[in-house]
């Protein structure tokens, strides 16, 4: 996967949050988006995710040509990523009643199905707290598949929530809820991982768990971390400072 920002800018009313952003994010690399509080890091991340539209320029996501299994996956709606024989046909999907066609000879991901290729964990994204951890991951997997090598019970044990697996998440501490957010994002079977302040409410043990999850499960993913806490992005090989894209 590859994400390309081309003269990308975002403004709210008359205030430009960032502008003239030209940058390329590549698979297998971890990137940090840094900057002070309120500088627009989260806005840039949401623009990359397609949650909000850019005011100018473009955000383009590229992928490898479709494979047989991937085309079947798109048609079934689960959007998983599998390596197999190259496909020379078309894959299509209906989104919001509109038929979208993806030509395997092209590698651009349609903006309307960008969400299928990424997962995100952020403080402003809430859990369904009436669910248990098991129910939440089952619900999540119904529209975004989890890594096939692990069961839901194994995922819950890895993030240290085995003892609370059948407890409603409204009874979780803030740190336990953050572990669940990381589990949903990191264990999704997608090539792009977006993390906004990923260690919010975590203690020292939680920080160590976060780094272990990144090391064990994200080496081949395109990872983007928004933070001004070095411990959250110390593994990132590249850094983008949002202040470099403020209007002069």
Per-residue CA distances from 87 to 60, 122, 245 (Å): 22, 35, 39
Q: What is the pLDDT of residue 147?
A: 96
Q: What is the pLDDT of residue 64?
A: 66
Give alpha helix (H) positions in 2-103.
41-49, 68-76
Q: What is the pLDDT of residue 104?
A: 45
Contact 148, 113 (CB under 8 A): no
Question: Could you tell me whether strands 238-241 and 2-12 are parallel, antiparallel, or unpaired per DSSP bridges?
Answer: unpaired
> What are φ and ψ of residue 17, in 5° steps?
-80, -45
Structural domains of the chain, ranges and CATH numbers in brackets:
2-63+107-245 (3.40.50.300)
What's the rounded Cα separation, in Å, for the pair 3 and 221? 12
Tens place of pLDDT for every residue, the chain, 248 residues? 899 999 999 999 999 999 999 999 999 999 999 999 999 999 999 999 999 999 999 999 998 654 445 445 544 444 333 333 333 333 444 444 544 444 444 488 888 889 899 999 999 999 999 999 999 999 999 999 999 999 999 999 999 999 999 999 999 999 999 999 999 999 999 999 999 999 999 999 999 999 999 999 999 999 999 999 999 999 999 999 999 999 87
The secondary structure of 79-92 as a DSSP string is ------SB--SEEE
Q: In the numeric block, which tokens belong to residue 162?
A: 């085995």
What's the rounded Cα separation, in Å, for the pair 107 and 75? 17
Q: What is the pLDDT of residue 105?
A: 44
Q: What is the pLDDT of residue 63?
A: 81
pTM: 0.82
């Amino acid at each position: 996967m590859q994400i390309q920002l081309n003269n990308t800018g975002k403004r709210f009313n008359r205030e430009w949050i960032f502008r003239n952003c030209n940058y390329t994010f590549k698979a297998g690399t971890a990137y940090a988006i840094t900057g002070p509080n309120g500088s627009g890091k989260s806005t840039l991340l949401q623009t990359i995710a397609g949650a909000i539209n850019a005011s100018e320029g473009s955000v383009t996501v590229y992928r490898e040509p479709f494979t047989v299994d991937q085309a079947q996956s798109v048609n079934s709606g689960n959007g998983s990523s599998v390596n197999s024989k190259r496909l020379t046909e078309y894959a299509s999907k209906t989104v919001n009643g509109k038929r979208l066609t993806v030509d395997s000879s092209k590698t651009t991901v349609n903006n309307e199905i960008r969400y299928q290729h990424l997962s995100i964990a952020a403080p402003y994204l809430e859990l369904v707290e009436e669910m248990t951890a098991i129910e939440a991951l089952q619900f999540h997997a119904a529209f975004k598949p989890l890594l096939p090598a692990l069961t839901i019970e194994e995922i819950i044990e890895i993030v240290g929530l085995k003892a609370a697996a059948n407890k409603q998440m409204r009874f979780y501490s803030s740190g336990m809820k953050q572990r669940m957010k990381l589990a949903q994002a990191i264990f999704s079977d997608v090539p792009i991982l977006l993390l906004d302040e990923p260690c919010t409410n975590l203690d020292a043990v939680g920080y160590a768990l976060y780094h272990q999850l990144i090391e064990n499960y994200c080496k081949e993913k395109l990872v983007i971390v928004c933070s001004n806490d070095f411990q959250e992005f110390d593994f990132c090989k590249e850094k983008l400072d949002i202040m470099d894209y403020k209007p002069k």
